[in-house]
Each structure stands twice: as structure tokens, then as C-alpha cells.
Structure 1
Amino acid sequence: MAALAPSAKGTLRFGEHRTWYRVTGRLDCGRPPVVVLHGGPGSTHDYLLALTALAEAGWPVVHYDQLGNGGSSHLPDRGADFWTVQLFQDELDNLLRGLGITEQYVLFGQSWGGMLAASHAARRPKGLRGLVIANSPASMPLWLEEMAVLRAQLPEQVQQTLLRHEAAGTTDSDEYFQAMRVFYDRHVCRILPWPADYTASFMEIYNDPTVYFTMNGPTEFHVIGSLKDFSVIDLCERIEVPTLLISGRHDEATPATVQPYADLIGDVRWEIFEQSSHVPHLEEPEKFTAVLVEYLKGLS
């Protein structure tokens, strides 16, 4: 297909639905595009727009909204049997084909997107040149164990408020939201007030929480959805491309949740951002871009 102009936007047909995408830079520049897989599941691309800095350094960047949120088709009436890991794997495959980049690309997966990217990489697609797994657990059971550790460090009153509303099923209350923010401000985004890009994705989730509530649950640390037993640990040994791991020192994706990637992927390097939590691309943007550019240069 013809090369897309810088900052081109559009949608691709995905079965009966549509996937929204944005391309920054030119896909015909000779370098592999960096395809950005956002978190959630059920978030949007907005909070990862800072990765467009890679296009300024010479690597085209593809953002997209996974099905169910943002500019892609919203399907609020679909149940848990529809929202599966396989669905999002198929959507990614469809995106790569639709943009004509299956022969050469790099995946950047953040949080849930890192698990999705690892699942894709484990299939050893011939066009995959590199993999970045950012702020992502290798296992949801491990994640839940570490959430208990982090929650125990919150003020006692905050812990009791969270537990009371979770037991009562009133996690949509303002009191629960305020208690939740204490955790988020420590372990998800430490910039106050939250950056506009991050706030945009946060609000998109709550404008249509179908995917997030179904697969994850009401919050990052109260995971009761269909993903609660999901793991990519058994897939890690199959990943052959050069892999960069990223996490923050204060990240909700604690070292214990990331360690299986470091132990099992053959060609791997782990960069910890000392001043960051879950979004180092926002919390330490200059260092983040420098680390990514260095990694991308190493692929050529």
C-alpha cells in the first residue's frame, strides 16, 4: 500500500468492527515502525502519545486504540466470552497486515500491552525486529501478590476504605475513588496534577469501562476480571528478538512481576527508571526517549 503521510489517522476494518490508528512519520523511511500497544485492557493510546518523539529521531510510530475504546468500535453489550486475549492478538495481526508492515516492525507494549506483545513475540513472526516490554507483569497471579504488598503500605484508613467498598460492591463511590487515588499517585503516575495525556486515557476508561471492568476489574489493584489468572511466563523462552524491559522504581509492576521476563527471555536488558512509577515515558521523558533511541539503534 502507499506510504502514509506524517501523522496520518484512520480506521481499519476488523471483522464487523473498526480499529482506529495513527501513524507519526513515514512507513517507507526504511526503519521498522514502532507499534505501540497500550494498557488496560480497555485504555487508549492517549497516555502514550509521548512516544511520537521516536518519530522525530527517525523511527515511525504507530498508535492504535484497541477494540472497545477510544476511536475504535465500542461494544458495551458484549460479555466476557467476547473480550479475550485471542481477540486482541487477532486485532494486532489485522493492524500489521492492514498497514502493510508485517515484514518489519518493533512492538512496544505497556502494562497489559506488554503481555499482549510478549504473546505475539512468542509466535516468532518473521517481521518482528524487536520487543519493548514496559511496566508489565509476566503473570497476573504474581501481580495480585504484589498488589497485596503495595496495598499493605498504604495508610490504615485508606486500606480500610478500600476493603469496605470492595466488600460492599460500591467501588463506584467517590470515597473509594479518593482512596484509590492514594495508590495511583504512588504507583501509577507520580506527577501531580496528572498530565493531560494520562488524564485523557483515564477518563476514556470510565466513559466506557466495558473492557477494563470485564477483563481487569474496578482498579489496578482489585483485579477480579477474566485476566486474573492470565500469564505469559510459559511463553517467554520462545521470544527470540532483542528485548528491552522497562520499569519504574515505584512501579505497581514491581520487580517480582517483571523478573520472569528477565530470567527467561534469551536476549534481554532491563532498565529501571529511578524517579518513575508506572509511566516513565511521562515521569522521566528525556531519559526514556534516550533509552528507547539507543535500543532502536542497536537493532540496525
Structure 2
Amino acid sequence: MLLLLLTTAAVLLALCITTDRPADRSNVTITRTDGDTHEGYVDVTGGRVWFRIVGADSPGTPLLILHGGPGATHDYLEPLAALADERPIVFYDQLGCGNSDRPDDPALWTVVRYVAEVGEVRQALGLDRVHLLGQSWGGALAVEYVLSAESDGVESLILSAPLLDADRWVADQRAHLAAFPEEIQEVVREAEATGNFDSPEYQEAMAAYYARHVCRTDPWPECLNRTFEKISLPVYLGMWGPSEFTCTGTLRTFDVTGRLAEVPVPVLFTCGEHDEASPATMAYFRSQVPGSELKVFKGASHEHHLEETDAYLATVREFLSRVDAAQ
């Protein structure tokens, strides 16, 4: 392992993924390199975001990963690094999250700023041609970005259990909750009425809910535990709200379904049979995007990439290969 602080002139040589997009070399600092894996920071509006590139020397079009939350981290998506044998896989922690800076400024936790951040990361790393994979909230971010004026060069979207309509998301969670015993439903209702989300009863209710609809493996994968340990509550509370069942933050009116038909690139939707983002909702979203595809993983839930990793990676790999071949 070799630790380096590279000069700005050498940054893009180290990344080895520069394309025709002019990179802003002054905004990138490499802090670690190990073979074809590089880590560092990109300066963005409001602070610095941490990134990791796996397979920087791989020949294919890079895949940029947008994590969920809001307020989560890249850690739980680490199994996607297995795709680096074919293409660079680029992870980053969004501002306020994980290894990135955590400024104390709620004004930064907006869709508009996070969309701009995707562009800033692409510009800094020279990602001219790129595929985007967004999971959960990251799916909202991916769609908003590809519909923006700065999205030239995005070649496809993979939307894993995406949040595309806040009201529909809440409705799905309420429907899931209704299938639980009445005592669990009452605990949730009381917590939301009183604002006391710290009670042992509420934590037990959430553990039961997560075990059915977030990740059904027992025990949870270590990478998912790391994400939950590092989750940024200020970002989650500011953008979403006190629980999965209630949205009070800046995403409370979020709904991009009316613009899905405008998405100009191939789209693959994925979800689990028991996903927070229900198969019925994903089928509706797929119907709004001409030519898009949907893969539902039986027996899995929101983290279907962790529950059915081999099948998920094979699905993503095959989709990206088809898109690349069509270019």
C-alpha cells in the first residue's frame, strides 16, 4: 500500500479514467492508492466529498454509484465493486454523510444541491461517459440528474428500489405496516403522535419492520451495519423525516413520475419481492419509461443487492454490456 498526496497536475494520471470531459484538477485530492484503487476528496459546494474508484484501469465505461438514505453511506453498496473487472466503479459519500465533510448547515440538504454535486463529482473526476446506479434516494438523485441540463454523457440508469414519489413511498410503507400485528402498529402510531422515537418499543418495532422489508438476511451483512452505524441523522431528518412512514423534510413534495417519459437513456429498474419500494410501484414506474426493464428478486427486500448478490450483479452486468454494445 502506498500513501500519496498527488499534485493537481498528476491527479488524473492516477485516476486513469479521464475521458473527453475536461476535468477540474484543482478540485481533486488523492489520499490513498492501492493498485488500481484510488481514494480521495472532491471539492463541492459546501465542503469536500470522499470518493473511491475501484478498477480504475478497467477499460469499460465507468459506473458511478449514488447511495441512498438520504444520509446513508457508500458502504452497503460495496459488493458492486465486483463489477470492476469490466469497468471502473466509482463510489462516493454525499456531502454530510460517511467519510465526507459534515457541515452544520441544513440549507445544504436539498435535491437541487445534491443534483449539482453529482455534476461536480463527474467534472472533477473526468467522467465524460458514465453509467449511473442509484439505490433508494440515490435513484431520485439519478433521475433528477439525468433530466438536468448537465447530464450529457450519461449512457444508462440503473434504479434499484428508487424513491421517485414521496407520497407513493409513504403509502407503500403504510401498506406494509398494516400487515404487522396490531401491537406493532400501535407502537408506531404512538411514537409518531408523541415524537418519541427513542423508546425500546419503537426500536423493536423498527427492527421487525427492517427485518422484513429492508434486509432479510440474518445477521445483516457487515457493510450494511457499517452504513447504519455511520448514518447522518441531520441529513435524514432534514430531507425525509422522523421515520420511513412519515415525510416532513425537503423531500415531502418530491415527485418525478410526471417526467419519467423524458428520461433519454436506457433504464433498468430493480426491486425485491418484499421491498419498501413495492413491485407494484416499480411496475408503475417502468410503465412510465418507454423501453425500460424491471427485475424483481424473489424473496428479497430493499437491499436485494445484498440478499441476492450473485443474481443482482449478473443482472446489472448483462444490462450494462447490452447498453455498451449498442453505443
TM-score, normalization by structure 2: 0.86
Give the 5 Å matches for 1:211-290.
Answer: 211-290=235-314
What secondary structure is seen at the aligned counterpart in 2 of 1:2? Answer: helix
Distance of 1:194 and 1:223 partners within structure 2 = 26
Distance of 2:205 and 2:186 partners within structure 1 = 9
Residue aligning to 1:45: 74
Q: 1:109 aligns with which of 121, 134, 154?
A: 134
Percent identity for Structure 1 against Structure 2: 37
Q: 1:156 aligns with which of 163, 169, 182?
A: 182
Distance of 1:127 and 1:113 partners within structure 2 = 19
Residue aligning to 1:181: 207
| Superposition deviation, residue 35 in structure 1 | 0.4
Amino acid corresponding to residue 313 of structure 2 in structure 1: T
1:235-256 C-alpha deviation (Å, 9 max, x unpaired)? 2111111111000000010134
Residue aligning to 2:21: none
Residue aligning to 1:199: 225
8 Å CA contact 1:161–1:175 kept in 2: the answer is yes
- Quick check: which has more Rg, 1 or 2? 2
8 Å CA contact 1:240–1:266 kept in 2: the answer is no
What secondary structure is seen at the aligned counterpart in 1 of 2:108? Answer: coil
1:120-154 C-alpha deviation (Å, 9 max, x unpaired)? 11237221111100011321111111111111111
Number of aligned residue pairs: 293
Residue aligning to 1:31: 60
| Superposition deviation, residue 3 in structure 1 | 4.3
Distance of 1:91 and 1:42 partners within structure 2 = 14
Amino acid corresponding to residue 89 of structure 2 in structure 1: V
Distance of 2:45 and 2:253 partners within structure 1 = 28
- For structure 2, the 5+ residue unaligned runs are 1-11, 16-34
What secondary structure is seen at the aligned counterpart in 2 of 1:22? Answer: strand
| Superposition deviation, residue 9 in structure 1 | 0.5
Is the counterpart of residue 66 in structure 1 residue 87 in structure 2? no
Residue aligning to 2:50: 20
Deviates more, 1:60-69 or 1:218-227: 218-227
Distance of 2:62 and 2:96 partners within structure 1 = 24
8 Å CA contact 1:247–1:273 kept in 2: the answer is yes
What secondary structure is seen at the aligned counterpart in 2 of 1:266? Answer: coil
Give the 5 Å matches for 1:142-153.
Answer: 142-153=168-179
Q: Give the aligned CA root-mean-square deviation in angstroms.
A: 1.4
Distance of 2:306 and 2:170 partners within structure 1 = 25
1:250-291 C-alpha deviation (Å, 9 max, x unpaired)? 001013432343122123110000021001110001101111
Amino acid corresponding to residue 152 of structure 2 in structure 1: K
Distance of 1:234 and 1:94 partners within structure 2 = 26
Segments of 4+ moved more than 3 angstroms: none
Residue aligning to 2:148: 123
